[in-house]
Amino acid sequence: MEDLKWWQNGVIYQIYPRSFQDSNGDGIGDLPGIIRRLDYLVTLGIDAIWISPIFPSPMADFGYDVADYCDVATIFGNLGDFDRLVAEAHRRGLRIILDFVPNHTSNQHPWFIESRGSRDNPKRDWYIWKDGSGRGRLPNNWLSHFGGPAWAWDETTKQYYYHSFLPEQPDLNWRNPAVKQAMYAVLRFWLDRGVDGFRVDVLWLLIKDDSFLDNPVNLGYVPGESSHNRLLPLYTANRPEVHAMIAEMRSVIDAYADRVLIGEIYLPIDLLVTYYGHNLGGANLPFNFQLLQTAWNAASIARIVEEYEAALPPGAWPNWVLGNHDKPRIASRIGEAQARVAAMLLLTLRGTPTVYYGEEIGMKDIPISSEQVQDPAEKNEPGRGLGRDPERAPMPWDKSVLAGFTSGKPWLPLGPDHAICNVQSLRENPRSILNLYRRLVELRRHNSALTRGAINAIRIQGNVLLYERSHGDDRTVIILNLGHEPACVSHTPGRLLLSTYLDRDGNDVVGDASLRADEGIIVEVTSTCTHPQNRPWNLSAP
């Protein structure tokens, strides 16, 4: 694996800091809490941690409205805590990836306060200001991702400013070189502190067309969807100029050894892969969200894998995710049994997997009453299922009444099932999904076909998905029953390495395999690699 980068052969784990571990009893997760749980992450076997924003913010969009890019919000700790987190993580061989939110600041950021101060101040052009298009009319028809127009009126200077998201999140003008230099300095600030990379928020939205033409109507709009989808974001997303910005960002990051640039990009596969950039000088990993939105059956997933693999430019490294802090949790989408199959899919497809905190314990979305809603996406467009609080519940660590997350009142309720769905209980159950994740991560690490091998022979038999991973003499077949009925499939015989049931592995030689309902298996066809005897879960780890 020596010639692969850490972000190629490793597993990334996303932490939503507010919900991971509270250390001071305010009911909000924080950096000292993450430090306390690093040994758990080592035992899980992951290699890098992506932390959602930890910067000073009014929290209108829970940290994605940054008021100071070069500090830590006091609710999460301070820069000293951050430096300690980096040191403790690096000491354990873990990398730290920060969320970078360059598209917009908070309206409380000093830059915006200055920009809105007067029409002729030096920072006016750091944001996107426009006159209305006639008496009381907005500059154009652009819409916010969080409902309503994307233009907010500023009474002081009698102009509108553009916001892709909340009015509290004014978009920066990335056509302004001063903005770019200021944001590249932010990257260097954190890189100098040892950060190993960035997940860049809404990378595909960075540039808006400077003709300010109306976006076209989306004739395929489905009532009940986000109102943002009423229009096609032709002039407000995926603009060609964005790739030059990304290449510049990448060159800033590449000036530091062994770093990574991950891009949040919600685009169809053929457009997504353009974000690897010219001569691969773009994002190292444009996040591949296809599994978040696909129908959950063998044919659909096979089609996605084939289309994605075929679209990747030479040298592009793939990646897969099952969830994040913005989308319903996989276990709620497809059920507990299939969540185990999804784990095996995520950790055996070619490329880098990202695990969203709680997926490893089969965590589900939590019910949120209207009084409990905190997410502006739900507050602005209630009742459409757009709220993201359900997937942001506190991590349940043990069987105690507050699940070991906090000694205070958690900022969101704990899941109703936390007495059984918690790390401690699942550690004690050798067949839990937590042990499945641990075993999959460990198997992946020691199997060169899974870590770096080609993927081929993607095929389906009924609702069973089969594919092969191969590297040198190592050939591994993955067989996933996406159905809730037993299935019999024919495939190349080999040694069964792992079943999602965790009740058979080791020396079974399986040929025409009869799969149980919701079962996935990994079969080693030929191998020169050695598989460690599965070490028992280190129950003494904190």
Residue 174 interface partner, choices ligand TEU, Ca ion, none, CB cut-off 5-8 Å depending on type? none
* Burial (CB count within 10 angstroms: exposed 0-12, middle 13-18, buried 19+), residue 369: exposed
Q: Quick one: which of 100, 161, 266, 437 contacts ligand TEU (CB under 6 A)?
A: 266
Residue 22 Cβ vs Ca ion, minimum distance, rounded to whole Å: 4
Check 171, 196, 264, 524 and give the catalytic one: 264
Two structure tokens written together for 289:
């969200």
Instruction: Compute the C-alpha angle 252/253/258, nearest 5°.
Output: 145
CB atoms within 10 A of CB 281: 15
Residue with tokens 């035992």: 43
Q: Would you count residue 36 as binding Ca ion (CB under 5 A)? A: no
Q: Per CB under 6 A, which of residues 337..356 are in contact with ligand TEU?
A: none
Instruction: Give the whole-angstrom CA distance, residue 212 versus residue 215.
Output: 9
User: Closest Cα partner for 360 from 125, 15, 107, 21?
Assistant: 15
**Distant-in-sequence, close-in-space partners of 89: CB < 8 Å, separation ≥ 6:** 38, 49, 95, 96
* DSSP alpha helix (H) spans, 18-146: 31-36, 38-44, 79-91, 110-115
Task: Identify which range of 21-29, 100-108, 348-356, 357-365 contacts Ca ion by CB under 5 A.
Answer: 21-29
Report how far residue 475's alpha carbon sits from residue 447's, in angstroms, rounded to the nearest whole number: 9
DSSP for 227-247 reads GGGGB--TTTSS-TTHHHHHH
Q: Which residues contact residue 73 at a Cβ distance below 8 angstroms, ignoring those fewer than 6 apart?
A: 54, 55, 56, 57, 63
Distance, first Cα to last Cα, the chain? 30
Q: 482, 298 in Cβ contact below 8 A?
A: yes
- CB of 22 or CB of 326, closer to ligand TEU: 326
283: nearest Cα among 448, 145, 102, 441: 102
The least CB distance from residue 175 to ligand TEU, in Å, is 20
Minimum separation from the CB atom of position 492 to Ca ion (A): 52
Size of the site for Ca ion (CB under 5 A): 5
For position 51 contacting Ca ion by CB under 5 A, the verdict is no
116 touches, from ligand TEU, Ca ion, none (C-beta below 5 to 8 Å by class): none
Q: Which does 377 bind (CB under 5 to 8 A by kind): ligand TEU, Ca ion, none?
A: ligand TEU
10 Å CB burial of residue 78 (0-12, 13-18, 19+) is middle
- 55/72 Cα distance (integer angstroms): 4
Size of the chain in residues: 542
By C-beta, is 200 or 298 nearer to ligand TEU? 200
- 81 counts as binding Ca ion under rule CB under 5 A: no
Candidate segments 22-30, 138-146, 273-281, 308-316, binder of Ca ion by CB under 5 A: 22-30
Output 355 or 377, the one with its CB closest to ligand TEU.
Answer: 377
Residue from 14, 15, 17, 30 touching Ca ion (CB under 5 A): that is: 30
Work out what residue 64 binds among ligand TEU, Ca ion, none; the CB cut-off runs from 5 to 8 Å by kind: ligand TEU
Residue 172 binds which entry of ligand TEU, Ca ion, none, CB below 5-8 Å type-dependent: none
Task: Give yes or no for residue 61 binding ligand TEU (CB under 6 A).
Answer: yes
Q: Any catalytic annotation for residue 201?
A: yes
Catalytic residue list contains 473: no
Using CB under 5 A as the binding rule, whether residue 24 contacts Ca ion is answered as: yes
With binding defined as CB under 6 A, does residue 202 bind ligand TEU?
yes
Q: Report the alpha-carbon angle 207-51-377, nearest 5.
A: 60
Rounded to whole angstroms, the Cα distance separating 285 from 282 reads 9
Q: Which two tokens stand for residue 330?
A: 């996989």
| Size of site (CB under 6 A) for ligand TEU | 13
Helix, strand or coil for residue 251?
A: helix
26 binds Ca ion (CB under 5 A): yes
Q: How many CB atoms lie within 10 A of CB 310?
A: 10
Of these partners, ligand TEU, Ca ion, none, which one is at the site of residue 28 (CB under 5 to 8 Å by kind)? Answer: Ca ion
Catalytic residue chosen out of the listed positions 22, 99, 171, 201: 201
386 binds ligand TEU (CB under 6 A): yes
Nearer to Ca ion, 36 or 384 (CB): 36
| Nearest-angstrom CA–CA distance, 352 and 287 | 10
Residue 30 contacts which entry, ligand TEU, Ca ion, none (Cβ below 5-8 A, type-dependent): Ca ion
Give the separation between CA 263 and CA 276, rounded to whole angstroms.
Answer: 9
CA distance 396 to 114: 43
Query: Residue 63 Cβ, how far from ligand TEU at the closest point, in Å?
Result: 8
One of 64, 76, 112, 356 touching ligand TEU (CB under 6 A)? 64
421 binds, among ligand TEU, Ca ion, none (CB under 5 to 8 A by kind): none
Instruction: State yes or no: residue 162 binds ligand TEU (CB under 6 A).
Output: no
**Binding of residue 69 to ligand TEU (CB under 6 A):** no
Closest distance of CB 338 from Ca ion, Å: 34
Binders in 89-148 for ligand TEU, by CB under 6 A? 101, 145
- Partner whose binding site includes residue 24, from Ca ion, ligand TEU, none (CB under 5 to 8 Å by kind): Ca ion
Q: Using an 8 Å Cβ cutoff, are 29 and 345 in contact? A: no
Which parts of this chain interact with ligand TEU (CB under 6 A)? Answer: 61, 64, 101, 145, 165, 201-202, 264, 266, 325-326, 377, 386
Which parts of this chain interact with Ca ion (CB under 5 A)? Answer: 22, 24, 26, 28, 30
Q: Which residues are catalytic?
A: 201, 264
